[in-house]
Structure 1
Amino acid sequence: MEQLRTFAQHLGIADLFGRGFWAVLLTFVTAAAITWRFIPQVRAFALRVGWADVPNERRLNTVPLPNAGGLAIFAGFVISIVVGWALRPIIIEQVNIQVLAILLGATLLVLVGFIDDQFGLTPLFRLGAQIVTAALLLVNGLRIDFNAIPFLPVLGGEVANVLSIGLTIVWVVGLTNAMNLLDGVDGVVGGVAFIASTVLLVTAAQFTDRAAAVILLAGLAGAALGYLRHNFNPSRIIMGDAGSTLFGYTLAAVSLLGTLKISVGASLLVPLLIMALPILDTTQVVVGRLARGIRNPLGHPDKTHLHHRVLARTGNARRTSVVLWIAALICGVAGMFAQGIGALTVLLTAAFIGGALWFVAARRMRAQIIEAAQTRRELN
């Protein structure tokens, strides 16, 4: 038994049989189970009321596809956080307020994203909402410290403060949009969000003062995994802007709550590596559009995203998802090694991620076979 405790401590689990570990585990399971079970009901309701993406030249679906999956993801995430909070209350008042600020900002973006999915909003309005949610984090003490970034000069006074505010807004708004722009092929964003959440969870778990970040990341990872059961190609539902912005914003915000403050030397490197895939995708898309003379690069969709490029080579949505999952996992492993996490912990984390993604993908493919057989019987 003592050997098991020691082994768990090497993985960042301070007490294998303590309340903290079980709170994290139950948060993850609750988020996954609620999202997994709730999505079929959301899908049925969405089809009745017309919450769906109609096929067009940019979309891969050939029939109207319900786009309210983000609501189920949000429900699983929030309910799981309440469960985790009840099992392990946050006793530090400032962190308590910061967690509430993150949840409030996420709620606002889910609402804006859902309205945009159904009725359409201008890019300027969406950007304004994202800046408001970033400001919500700033006023509650969540920010990037400019003077903590390595290789840059240490500045004093108001200059450093203004640069810190600017960097924080760019980080939050940038990553929120990066996850949104990456959402173009079934399963890509759900898988990338699950990988990033799990890797950041393991990274934060190495530090005793990151309990709030760990709980939030456990809920986010569980919700992503539960959603993937219904979204791996052929998808039965998509998350829409409500889901993709929820993932992007929450990952950006939680990284400010914990992992960006891990050490001066790795202040930005770790989360940048872990979330390199959506960041790289957005960067190359924006630069490409600007080079073509497009003044508003976020308001002119095209097929230059990484998922479009990979899909053109693979010719298959499933293979495209797996390729991008592997790329995201490689980035995550690099981030863990950059943080100095042990090889065994990294290996087990990668194995868990791979196994979990294989499980939900296999379940979706099995369900698709059963659905096809039922359809044939009905036609006969």
Structure 2
Amino acid sequence: MPEALSSLAQSMGISNLAGGGALIVALIFLTALTFTWRFIPGVRDFAVRVGWADQPNERRLNKEPLPNAGGLAIFAGFVVSVVVAWALRPIFIQDVQIQVLAILLGATILVLTGFIDDQYGLSPAFRLAVQLLSAVLLVVNGLHIDYNAIPFLPSVPDAVNQPLGIAITILWVIGLTNAMNLLDGVDGVVGGVSFVASMVLLATAAQFPDRGTAVILLAGLGGAALGYLRHNYNPSRIIMGDAGSYLFGYTLAAVSMLGTLKFSAGASLFVPLLVMALPILDTAQVVVGRLARGIRNPLGHPDKTHLHHRLLAATGQARRTALIMWMVALLCGVVGMIAQGVRPLAILATVVFTVLCLWFVAYRRVRAQGREQEQALTTGTE
């Protein structure tokens, strides 16, 4: 039986099931999931008391003040899972601990910036400067894209390769950070898309024995996203705010460089690009549209031209909109895994696991809403 399980694991790309790596990954995922799931109600109650909330306006869907401190809970769940990983298997991150610390520091800076912006408002120029600082922090600690490793592009001399790779890296990090932020407009969309992206990149990185650190970080990020989604699926009781969307965009961009982007063979760059295709395309069409309308600062003028807004107008339901966005993101992820050469059984397992997890949290949120309505009716009749 153990040999059969080991053989099955190897057919899915898990290099060493007996080594306990798979169990550690599962534990880290469950740690982030459980902590975030249980921590958010307390954060929500505190946010309500102190007024950390988005007020209704013509762009937002909420009809009453909605707590916007979910990003803090997501970040806490992610960090707790990383600490657990460090305690259980420090050898996993020993060789890249500087890069891991750089990712955590950059994420911390952006989470704090996003949270302050949520509560008090910051200028677009200041937010962009902080994003640039966080991206440079990754570069100076060895996390950057090798331009000559990008397939289908002409090679350049070494003197040009490094600065060009650094410029692409900064564009990648800042672009994805803002893309995730702009995608956050309908309950459950960013949480679900981030969970899908985390699971797809995790499955891809798990095919390679030297990408254990990426797998660990993605397990923690995915678990935190799923724990948050339990409270954010429509009708949401809390939203992540800029703090949460910055965290997801920045961390996914950074961890993808720690894992799949560093491969020089085949279509390795296509994996994160295809996984992130939904937020990237959404941002591109919004920016182009705003520039065409004569808006000089396309990122500083919010509107309702995003894909999720258009889909919401077509479906008339936030839940259906989120489900469609999740499935499109998963389809993009499958294409990315195929391009990377991930084994079919691993792709199937990733899809099944991802769909089951999303169904579980959506079901729990809908069931909880039913109980809330029943309690409201009972209280009203009394």
Q: Same fold (TM over 0.5)?
A: yes
* Offset, 1:151: 2.0
What does residue 99 of structure 1 align with? Answer: 100
What does residue 284 of structure 1 align with? Answer: 285
Question: How many angstroms apart in 2 are the aligned matches of 1:193 and 1:26?
Answer: 19
Q: Which consecutive residues of structure 1, in runs of 5 or more, have no partner in the other structure?
A: none
Q: Equivalences for 1:251-290 in 2 at 5 Å?
A: 251-290=252-291
Instruction: Report the TM-score when normalising by structure 1.
Output: 0.98
What CA deviation, in whole Å up to 9, does each residue of 1:121-152 have, x standing for no partner?
00111100010010000001100111111222
Q: What's the secondary structure of 1:250's corresponding residue?
A: helix
Pair 1:34 & 2:26 matched: no
Instruction: Report the TM-score when normalising by structure 2.
Output: 0.98
1:77/1:219 contact within 8 Å kept: yes
* Offset, 1:162: 1.5
What does residue 250 of structure 1 align with? Answer: 251
Distance 1:153 1:95, change over 3 A: same
What does residue 374 of structure 2 align with? Answer: 373
Distance 1:281 1:152, change over 3 A: same
Paired AA for residue 138 in structure 1: V
What CA deviation, in whole Å up to 9, does each residue of 1:245-289 have, x standing for no partner?
000000000011011012332232111011110001001101111
Q: What's the secondary structure of 2:332's corresponding residue?
A: helix
Q: What's the secondary structure of 2:210's corresponding residue?
A: coil
What does residue 324 of structure 1 align with? Answer: 325
Pair 1:179 & 2:176 matched: no
1:19/1:87 contact within 8 Å kept: no
What CA deviation, in whole Å up to 9, does each residue of 1:158-188 have, x standing for no partner?
3222211110000000000000000000000
What does residue 363 of structure 2 align with? Answer: 362
Q: What's the secondary structure of 2:209's corresponding residue?
A: coil
Question: How many angstroms apart in 1 are the aligned matches of 2:13 and 2:123?
Answer: 44
What does residue 6 of structure 1 align with? Answer: 7
Moved more, 349-358 or 153-162: 153-162
Q: Equivalences for 1:34-113 in 2 at 5 Å?
A: 34-90=35-91, 93-113=94-114
Q: What's the secondary structure of 1:303's corresponding residue?
A: coil
Paired AA for residue 359 in structure 1: F
Distance 1:91 1:27, change over 3 A: closer
Question: How many angstroms apart in 1 are the aligned matches of 2:73 and 2:115?
Answer: 12
What CA deviation, in whole Å up to 9, does each residue of 1:24-62 have, x standing for no partner?
111100000000000000000000000000000000000
**Percent of aligned pairs with the same amino acid:** 71
Distance 1:94 1:137, change over 3 A: farther
Paired AA for residue 131 in structure 2: Q
Report the count of equivalent residues. 380
What CA deviation, in whole Å up to 9, does each residue of 1:91-149 have, x standing for no partner?
66551110110011001100000000000000111100010010000001100111111
2:311/2:321 contact within 8 Å kept: yes
Distance 1:334 1:164, change over 3 A: same
Question: How many angstroms apart in 2 are the aligned matches of 1:122 and 1:265?
Answer: 41
1:19/1:88 contact within 8 Å kept: no
What does residue 118 of structure 2 align with? Answer: 117
Q: Equivalences for 1:291-310 in 2 at 5 Å?
A: 291-310=292-311
What does residue 344 of structure 2 align with? Answer: 343
What does residue 232 of structure 2 align with? Answer: 231
* Offset, 1:378: 1.1
Paired AA for residue 220 in structure 1: L
Question: How many angstroms apart in 1 are the aligned matches of 2:17 and 2:208?
Answer: 15
State the Cα RMSD in Å: 1.0
Question: How many angstroms apart in 2 are the aligned matches of 1:90 and 1:238?
Answer: 36
Question: How many angstroms apart in 2 are the aligned matches of 1:291 and 1:366?
Answer: 44
What does residue 150 of structure 1 align with? Answer: 151
Question: How many angstroms apart in 2 are the aligned matches of 1:188 and 1:208?
Answer: 32
2:93/2:100 contact within 8 Å kept: no
Q: What's the secondary structure of 1:79's corresponding residue?
A: helix
Q: What's the secondary structure of 1:15's corresponding residue?
A: coil
Question: How many angstroms apart in 2 are the aligned matches of 1:362 and 1:15?
Answer: 34
Paired AA for residue 187 in structure 2: D
* Offset, 1:235: 0.2
Distance 1:300 1:38, change over 3 A: same
Q: What's the secondary structure of 1:307's corresponding residue?
A: helix
* Offset, 1:291: 0.9
* Offset, 1:77: 0.3
Question: How many angstroms apart in 1 are the aligned matches of 2:138 and 2:62?
Answer: 37
Moved more, 142-151 or 102-111: 142-151
What CA deviation, in whole Å up to 9, does each residue of 1:305-357 have, x standing for no partner?
01001001000000000010010000000011111112121111101100100
Paired AA for residue 349 in structure 2: L
2:149/2:263 contact within 8 Å kept: no
Q: What's the secondary structure of 1:177's corresponding residue?
A: helix
* Offset, 1:223: 0.2
1:90/1:96 contact within 8 Å kept: no
